[in-house]
Amino acid sequence: MDLLPPSTNADYRGSGASVVFLMLTAVLTIIPGLIHYFLPDGGAGVIAHLDLTTRASTIIAIFAWYGAMQIPFGILIGLVAWRYRTLVPLLLLLLIIQQALSAFAAWVFKGEFGGHHPPEHFASVIFTVLGFVFLALSLRPSSTTGVAA
């Protein structure tokens, strides 16, 4: 049994731009995952400017836990863009839901950061908007995907 099933790229009919966007998303998921996992404070203090004077070990552990989830998820996103493009629309929809929920929590529902928002809060809003654009493009039949299969 092979680790990876056969590629589905030949069956993908959407825009190649959506594939490129998804590959970029993979990279932009893995890099923060590496930062959260390997940076001594996980980025909690130096990037997010969280107060680490109390419960620092818990906050840093949560950042590392999140990084541990981001790294393999980013690899999965890249794998879909590289080898299983028929899943591009579904994965974009799931990413839109994830980022929209994250943005809502950060800006409206649960986010109180004393006026400071870490980069991810802005990125979640931007991704949600761009995600809809690339989802629509991935669902439109294209004569060519623009990306080599």
pTM for this model (two decimals): 0.83
Q: Taking each helix axis from N to C terminus, what angle separates 119-139 and 16-38, rounded to the nearest 10 degrees?
A: 150
- Quickly state the pLDDT bin for 67 (edges 50, 70, 90): very high
Q: What is the CA radius of gyration of the chain?
A: 17
Instruction: Please give the single-letter amino acid code of residue 101.
Output: L
b/e map 32-60, b = 16+ CB within 10 Å: bbebbbebebbbbbebbebebeeeeeebb
pLDDT one-digit tens code per residue, 18-57: 999 999 999 999 999 999 999 989 988 888 778 888 889 9
Other Cβ atoms less than 10 A from the Cβ of 143: the count is: 6
Q: How far apart are CA 141 and CA 22, in angstroms?
A: 17
> Is residue 118 within 8 Å of 79, Cβ to Cβ?
no
Percent of the chain with pLDDT over 70: 90
Residue 113: the pLDDT is 58
Question: Any idea what DSSP says for residue 11?
Answer: G
> Is residue 34 within 8 Å of 75, Cβ to Cβ?
no
